[in-house]
Chain A
Amino acid sequence: MSCGLSVRKFGISFGDTEILRDISFDVKPGEIVTILGPSGCGKSTILRSIAGLENTHKGEIVINDLCVSSSSTYVNIEKRKSGYIFQDYALFPHLNVEENIGFALFKMPKKKRKARVLELLEQFDIVGHRHKQIHELSGGQQQRVAIARVIAYNPSVLLLDEPFSNLDTILRNKTKIWLKKIIKELQLSAILVTHDQKEALSVSDKIGIIHNKKIIQFGTPEEIFNKPKNLYVAKFLGDINKLPHAFVKSLNINFSEDQIPIIRINDTNITSKNNEHELIIHDVSYCGDYYEVTASFKDYPESLISTRTHASNYLQVGSKIFLDINKEKILLINK
């Protein structure tokens, strides 16, 4: 019976350089936890350590109540029951789809192995491609093969390294839905690492944000998005506007000197009601789906605000607009 994965006070250094410290989180079966952080922050190192590819670190890694890795323990890779999906999928180019999926099942009798591979091909909807070479598959199909290859040996932990980075937008959405379904169905404890905020918010049950070698906030996507712990998290998860202190006080919102009032760009709207806040347009940029307007408050000319709109006929640099700011959406963030 799978009990999930626990990472406790994990830390790792390469030579004299400390990469990560004091990382702790749990992943229950059927749950997707995303480790979110910029490129090069050490996210993948966590996955590598869980898989057993890195073997010298601080803290403990526990899979299904068995400590697989600590300063004094190292359980061999093959006993960890983890499946690793690499960013480039690492499918072997000299083997076809079927052979790749069956690669780890070499100890199984041939008949049984064939049946298991067929079952996976059907489950992952790639049965029509079974005899194809890897280069003949699309990015999405390659990813399915990579996942089928690790599911073949029934892992309880699934480690996904930037799994959507090689897919185009349409395929990315489809794959997300499919992957979530597979993880829930098979009750896998999945850890996904990415630098893409949207991807993290849409696919995860929980998110941990890495900054300065540590997880600085861990919680559900809604918690993290709506209650960011600090300015870094708020900025990292989406575009924000810092609001002038005097303006916020004029709305009767009290806050301390240690706090910064912010509002997300999408929580501001240009309105025709002239009893709202008046701004002067400084710049208008066309961004395809919308226009991004940068403007300053008439009463606080030094503070620039960005907002988005679909109409453009009234947007002239130097002309005035009125902005509807929902008071409820103003967040007070610790510095």
Chain B
Amino acid sequence: MNRFSKLTISSVFLALLICIPAIIILSYIFTPSSEIWVHLKATVLKDYIYNSLYIMFGVGVMTTAIGFTTAYITTMYKFSFSNIFHYALILPFAIPTYIVAFIYAGMFDMTGSVTTFLLKLFGKKINEIDFYDIMSIEGAIIVMSLVLYPYVYLITKTYLRAESASIIDASKTMGLSSWQIFYKVVLPISRPAIVAGAILAVMEAVSDFGVVDYYGVSTFVTGIFRTWFGMGSVEDASKLAAMLMSFIFLLIFLERFQRRNKKYKSSGKDYRPISKIQLKGTKNILAFIACFLPFFFGFLLPFIQMCFWFSISYEEIIDEDFFTLLSQTLSIAIGSSALITALALLFVYNARRVKTKMTDNIAQVAKLGYSIPGAVIAVGILTAFSFFDNTIIYFFETYFGFNPGLIVGGTVTAVVFGYSVRFIAIAINNYESGFSKIPTTYDDAAKTLQVGEKRAFTSVFAPLLKNATFAAFIMVFIEIIKELPLTMILRPFNFDTLAVRSYELTQQGQIVESSVPSMFIVFLGIMSVLLLAKNMSKD
């Protein structure tokens, strides 16, 4: 009857719009090979594949090792400062990977602050020592792992805390030692959580642009940039993007396949905290060191260095232009977050209201955007927009004899559209979890109380979803503030964000100065995390 309402139609339309970049990119898999492609294939394609796989493998192994160890130790034991580590170990999330990479390069490369200091200290020259350059693929893997391990840490920890108390207690009563509990019980039961966390980290790593570009490592993403901007070939850049995207979809499929019926999130029932064991002596020190090192290298050290660089360069960098940059970044982030949050609400509310397989699938399809690298989405959007613009130009030139110029391509619209495709999943997830806390009897009650749909929405759902809306907005906001490759490709001429400025300064060799925009990004990130934590405690 009213199953296919205006709301559903608008949802379908939006979902299609969001899928456009992905569809366009995927269609390039089947385009015939150009000369450039033959050249790419003969020269660098192998490197792209090898390096991307190497990074994935390295980041997968390292994030698992760091994330699982810290999650296990902080869940099972009490030791010096263990309560602080509970939060401190998440902090690396607050600094974007590329900023940590810039800072580490500034500290540890041949002319870096730490390298110079150490050389002076020991009275040596760079050619007299066995120097390992951080600006390498291994360096990139280490930096990415230090920032991305919280994915594994958070998911595994949540799982262990929620699911394993009685299993661990049972193992203890059966006389298993701590080590036996670790490898016979905890490790096998945590596998789905570890894999889920590691795959998220690996997906972030393979989508990265800032780190690999700066460290001079050729991957699919840098390849897309080079082919697009260096060789000017849209088709071949898109073809690379298509390969990368297919690869990522394969990863998502593998993750879902390995998960199948295994749940790794709390059922919410029978929650019982794990009784932690107090560590003493050497074990206490070892546990402290195991948690302190990732926190130190993932957050504290780069943060301190950034603060120091900020203190010596802010006067030079913060001028009127910088405030324009700041307000530009904030305006686009706030505007886009508001739009994305509203769209997500439309999707999820509609899926709940109409409850058909189709509306459910629409939300799921819209969520796929988050797994597609920013650079790939940007290429897809540019292709779509230039086709649109060219059609309009052709139409006006043919019928009205004038050229209206670019309408959507190279405008802020393209950037906002890109953000929507990439980040709507975050907002949808927040609303799905928000709606799941509202019993369906509320919908029925609102209907039988004869208040009409509009009032039911404004006076029941909107107030009950206040926290979900806030969380969705803040999470999308901070992702936009941190976003680099998509903004770089889609931004209009002369339109900068803090992230782009930070990247540009490093490109000009001004690493110390780049700490100023970076500092603002990190500050906004930490503020957002604090706001979210406050919001969660209210929930």
Could you tell me which A residues sit within 8 Å of B by CB distance?
48, 51-53, 55, 74, 77-78, 82-84, 86-88, 90, 92-94, 103-104, 106, 149-150, 153
- A87:B441 contact, CB within 8 angstroms: yes
Q: Nearest-CB distance from B448 to chain A (Å)?
A: 4
Cβ-neighbour of B444 out of A53, A83, A149 (below 8 A): A53
Q: Knowing A53-B444, A86-B445 touch, does A77 contact B450 (C-beta < 8 A)? A: yes
- A55:B1 contact, CB within 8 angstroms: yes
User: Chain A residues with Cβ under 8 A from B464's Cβ?
Assistant: 92-94
Cβ of B455 under 8 Å from chain A: yes
- B444:A104 contact, CB within 8 angstroms: no
User: Chain A residues with Cβ under 8 A from B441's Cβ?
Assistant: 86-88, 90
- B449:A149 contact, CB within 8 angstroms: yes
- A84:B455 contact, CB within 8 angstroms: no
- A104:B449 contact, CB within 8 angstroms: yes
Q: Nearest-CB distance from B437 to chain A (Å)?
A: 10
- B447:A106 contact, CB within 8 angstroms: no
- B463:A150 contact, CB within 8 angstroms: no
Q: 8 Å CB contacts to A: which residues of B399-444?
A: 439, 441-442, 444
- A51:B460 contact, CB within 8 angstroms: no
Q: Nearest-CB distance from B322 to chain A (Å)?
A: 42
Q: Nearest-CB distance from B289 to chain A (Å)?
A: 45
Cβ of B304 under 8 Å from chain A: no
Cβ of B451 under 8 Å from chain A: yes
- B442:A82 contact, CB within 8 angstroms: no
Q: Nearest-CB distance from A259 to chain B (Å)?
A: 45
User: Chain A residues with Cβ under 8 A from B1's Cβ?
Assistant: 55, 74
Q: Knowing A74-B1, A90-B439, A94-B463 touch, does A153 contact B445 (C-beta < 8 A)? A: no
Identify the closest chain B residue to A55 (Cβ).
Answer: B1
User: Chain A residues with Cβ under 8 A from B451's Cβ?
Assistant: 103-104, 106
* Bound CA–CA A112/B1 (angstroms): 36
Would you give 22 A-B contacts (Cβ < 8 Å), ordered by A? Answer: A48-B444, A53-B448, A55-B1, A74-B1, A77-B447, A78-B452, A83-B448, A84-B445, A84-B448, A86-B441, A86-B445, A88-B441, A90-B445, A92-B442, A92-B445, A92-B460, A92-B464, A94-B463, A103-B451, A104-B449, A106-B455, A153-B450
Identify the closest chain A residue to B444 (Cβ).
Answer: A53
- A84:B450 contact, CB within 8 angstroms: no
Q: Interface residues of B toward A: which range?
A: 10 to 19
Q: Nearest-CB distance from A93 to chain B (Å)?
A: 7
Q: 8 Å CB contacts to A: which residues of B1-41?
A: 1
User: Chain B residues with Cβ under 8 A from A84's Cβ?
Assistant: 444-445, 448
Among B439, B442, B449, B455, residue most surrounded by chain A Cβ atoms (within 10 Å): B449
Among A88, A92, A153, residue most surrounded by chain B Cβ atoms (within 10 Å): A92
User: Chain B residues with Cβ under 8 A from A51's Cβ?
Assistant: 444, 447-448
Identify the closest chain A residue to B455 (Cβ).
Answer: A106
Q: Nearest-CB distance from B350 to chain A (Å)?
A: 18
User: Chain A residues with Cβ under 8 A from B463's Cβ?
Assistant: 94
Q: Nearest-CB distance from A145 to chain B (Å)?
A: 12
**Pairs A-B, 3 closest by C-beta atoms:** A78-B450, A90-B445, A90-B441
* Bound CA–CA A150/B460 (angstroms): 16
Q: Nearest-CB distance from A208 to chain B (Å)?
A: 22
User: Chain B residues with Cβ under 8 A from A78's Cβ?
Assistant: 450, 452
Among B445, B452, B460, residue most surrounded by chain A Cβ atoms (within 10 Å): B445
Identify the closest chain A residue to B2 (Cβ).
Answer: A55
Identify the closest chain B residue to A87 (Cβ).
Answer: B441
* Bound CA–CA A104/B455 (angstroms): 10
Q: Knowing A86-B441, A87-B441, A90-B439 touch, does A77 contact B460 (C-beta < 8 A)? A: no
* Bound CA–CA A84/B444 (angstroms): 9
* Bound CA–CA A93/B448 (angstroms): 17
User: Chain A residues with Cβ under 8 A from B445's Cβ?
Assistant: 84, 86, 90, 92
* Bound CA–CA A119/B449 (angstroms): 19
* Bound CA–CA A53/B444 (angstroms): 7
* Bound CA–CA A48/B441 (angstroms): 11
- Given contacts A51-B448, A90-B441, 4 further A-B pairs with CB under 8 A are A51-B447, A52-B447, A52-B448, A86-B445
Q: Knowing A74-B1, A87-B441, A90-B439 touch, does A53 contact B455 (C-beta < 8 A)? A: no
User: Chain B residues with Cβ under 8 A from A55's Cβ?
Assistant: 1
User: Chain B residues with Cβ under 8 A from A150's Cβ?
Assistant: 448-449
Identify the closest chain B residue to A77 (Cβ).
Answer: B447
Q: Nearest-CB distance from A331 to chain B (Å)?
A: 40
Q: Knowing A74-B1, A92-B460, A94-B464 touch, does A86 contact B444 (C-beta < 8 A)? A: yes
Among A51, A52, A55, A84, residue most surrounded by chain B Cβ atoms (within 10 Å): A84
* Bound CA–CA A55/B1 (angstroms): 9
B75-117 CB mask vs A (1 if < 8 Å, else 0) is: 0000000000000000000000000000000000000000000
Identify the closest chain A residue to B450 (Cβ).
Answer: A78
- A103:B439 contact, CB within 8 angstroms: no
Identify the closest chain A residue to B445 (Cβ).
Answer: A90
Among B442, B447, B450, B460, residue most surrounded by chain A Cβ atoms (within 10 Å): B450
Q: Nearest-CB distance from A129 to chain B (Å)?
A: 19
User: Chain A residues with Cβ under 8 A from B450's Cβ?
Assistant: 77-78, 104, 153
User: Chain B residues with Cβ under 8 A from A104's Cβ?
Assistant: 449-451
* Bound CA–CA A90/B464 (angstroms): 13
* Bound CA–CA A84/B460 (angstroms): 17
Q: Nearest-CB distance from A189 to chain B (Å)?
A: 15
User: Chain A residues with Cβ under 8 A from B455's Cβ?
Assistant: 106
- A82:B448 contact, CB within 8 angstroms: yes
- A53:B447 contact, CB within 8 angstroms: yes
User: Chain A residues with Cβ under 8 A from B459's Cβ?
Assistant: 103
User: Chain A residues with Cβ under 8 A from B448's Cβ?
Assistant: 51-53, 77, 82-84, 150
